[in-house]
Amino acid sequence: MKHYIVPIALLACLLATSCNTNKRLYKTGVAYHQANQADHERIQELKATGKPEIWPEVFERYCSIKGRSDEMSQYPEEVKRSLNYRPLDLEEELTSSRNKAEAYLTAKAKQLLETGTPTNIKEAKKLTHQLMRVNPESSLIGEYQLMAMIRQTARLETEFEYNDRSRPLPEGIDQAVMQFDQTELSRFPIAKDNCVTAASMIVEVTDFFITPDKDETVSFKETNEGLTATVTDHTLSKSAKIKADITFIFKDKESIMGSDWNVFSIRDIEATSIFNYSYTTVEGSKAACSAQTLERLTNQPIPFPTDVSILLDAAKKLNNLIAEQLSK
């Protein structure tokens, strides 16, 4: 009889294993449907309020339902049938709730930040954390981080960098970029009370371009009562572009990015100075010219701006762009 012991023991183990597996699957199925039902009921309860602040939670709950459904979809077909699993199409609900959640979070966070009060700034940071989950690609995350930082810092320490030794910048570009006038400074919402921490702003010029002088001409003849003139229209053009990255560093125990130190950048800010000027010249008798041509002759020829002057103008425009960022 001893030769029957092993098969019976194995059969018992198999039966016990099968029983435990069925129990686990049953519990999984019950938990899956219960969790989805709870989320669905909560979503309906929130929607019934009609309040805009419900949408971040609605979106999170749709994400939870989709996550469970996606996980369940990996089970074998016979297991899914035994659990009464049905695939869920939630794309429309997810898209709609995401858009509404993002709209609420961006509007509310900006409203709170603009007040400048410590309590509202703290609440705005929490909303921006939610915005990062709803749409990690939102360009407003960095903007709100900057708004919070400026409103919490006692002073802003600035630094200019340019590291391309093969193409030196003309003298004075650093000052044109970094010097803010009193009107600009008065718009920076730097904190006035209960703040001692300084923030650092590093502006690094990464590239610059200056186009060659360009004089485009079009010539034609005009006649009047036997008189002839050759008219030449000149269009002068030249431009300069300067590009920069801005890096901000600020110590913040409640950082939006989840670190004691906020270190973030605004990249590829571009400022362009454009020179365009037109004038007309005439060879021959002006009496042969039309009234339109004679009117254009009031513009006299002028020289092209120098490379340094047009790049300095672009640097001043970059300064204005930076001031606009800091004034938000």
Amino acid (one-letter) located at 160: F
Q: Which two tokens stand for residue 316?
A: 């001043």
Reported in sequence order, the residue ranges of the chain that DSSP labels E, i.e. its strands, are: 155-161, 198-210, 214-224, 227-251, 261-284
Nearest partner of 61 among 102, 105, 103, 94, judged by Cα = 94
Reply yes or no on whether the pLDDT at 193 is more than 50.
Answer: yes
Reply yes or no on whether the pLDDT at 45 is more than 80.
Answer: yes
| Residue 144 near residue 256 (C-beta atoms within 8 A) | yes
The pLDDT, as a whole number, for residue 10 is 46
**Main-chain dihedrals φ then ψ at residue 127, nearest 5 degrees:** -65, -35
Reply yes or no on whether the pLDDT at 17 is more than 60.
Answer: no
**Exposure string for 152-178, b = 16+ CB within 10 A, e = fewer:** bbeebeeebebeeeeeebbeebbebbb
15 vs 202, which has greater pLDDT? 202
31 vs 142, which has greater pLDDT? 142
The average pLDDT across 170-179 equals: 96
3 state SS of 273: strand
Reply yes or no on whether the pLDDT at 5 is more than 50.
Answer: no
Q: Which two tokens stand for residue 294?
A: 């004679």
Tell the burial category of 109 from Cβ atoms under 10 Å away from its Cβ (0-12, 13-18, 19+): buried
221 vs 28, which has greater pLDDT? 221
Cβ contacts of residue 55 below 8 Å, gap of 6+?
97, 100, 101, 103, 104
The pLDDT, as a whole number, for residue 264 is 85
The average pLDDT across 294-311 equals: 95
The average pLDDT across 215-236 equals: 96
Longest dimension (CA), the chain: 135
The average pLDDT across 311-318 equals: 98
| Residue 232 near residue 245 (C-beta atoms within 8 A) | no
| CA distance linking residue 144 with residue 112, whole number of Å | 10
Average confidence score pLDDT of the chain: 88
3 state SS of 213: coil
Q: Which two tokens stand for residue 30?
A: 């019950």
The pLDDT, as a whole number, for residue 83 is 75
Tell the burial category of 100 from Cβ atoms under 10 Å away from its Cβ (0-12, 13-18, 19+): middle
Amino acid (one-letter) located at 58: V
| CA distance linking residue 144 with residue 165, whole number of Å | 35
pLDDT band at 196 (very low <50, low <70, confident <90, very high): low
The average pLDDT across 304-312 equals: 97
| CA distance linking residue 24 with residue 123, whole number of Å | 43
Reply yes or no on whether the pLDDT at 14 is more than 50.
Answer: no
pLDDT tens profile 90-145: 899 999 999 999 999 999 999 999 998 889 999 999 999 999 999 999 989 989 98
Q: Which two tokens stand for residue 240?
A: 């300069």
| CA distance linking residue 284 with residue 18, whole number of Å | 107
The average pLDDT across 310-321 equals: 97
| Residue 324 near residue 186 (C-beta atoms within 8 A) | no
pLDDT band at 25 (very low <50, low <70, confident <90, very high): low
The pLDDT, as a whole number, for residue 11 is 43
26 vs 279, which has greater pLDDT? 279
| CA distance linking residue 62 with residue 60, whole number of Å | 6
Q: Which two tokens stand for residue 233?
A: 């229209």
Q: Which residue's structure tokens are 């990996």?
A: 74
Reply yes or no on whether the pLDDT at 77 is more than 90.
Answer: no
The pLDDT, as a whole number, for residue 144 is 92
3 state SS of 61: helix
